[in-house]
Amino acid sequence: MSKKDSFLVNRLKSVGHAYKGVVHLIKTESSIKIQVCIAIAVTITGFYFDISNTEWLIQIVFIGLVMSLEGMNTAFEHISDFVHPDTHEHIGRIKDIAAGAVLIAAVSAVIAALIIYIPKIF
């Protein structure tokens, strides 16, 4: 196998691992399931209100941002529970900060959605 082939094969394998991670996340995390439902609902709403290309871009970026941060938050929870299964102040803080990052993105996404849709509804 040439060097180029092995590079491509390795990239494909990495995508496969990442795909497995996404499937695991969706199967096991209730917050991600809710976020997928919200993503589907706002996508339907986007088509209904015929939002502009810029509004689609903002909506897609926020959906990706919230869901990818949720994935990182879950990864932090797994690492925390693995390295320190017992209750510890630092573990609690690490989990709170990771969850806080998701909250910041989610609040920003809600504000962006209000800016996009309120003028179209009223």
Q: What residue ranges bind ligand ATP (CB under 6 A)? A: 29, 31, 74, 77, 87-88, 91-92, 95-96, 99
The CB-nearest residue to ligand ATP is: 92
The b-or-e profile of 73-88 (16+ CB within 10 A means b, else e) is bbebbeebeeeeeeee
Nearer to ligand ATP, 18 or 83 (CB): 83
For residue 39, the minimal CB distance to ligand ATP (Å) is 18
**What are the structure tokens assigned to 26, written together?**
């969706």
Nearer to ligand ATP, 31 or 43 (CB): 31
What are the start-end ranges of the E strands in the chain? none
DSSP-based three-state secondary structure for 50: coil
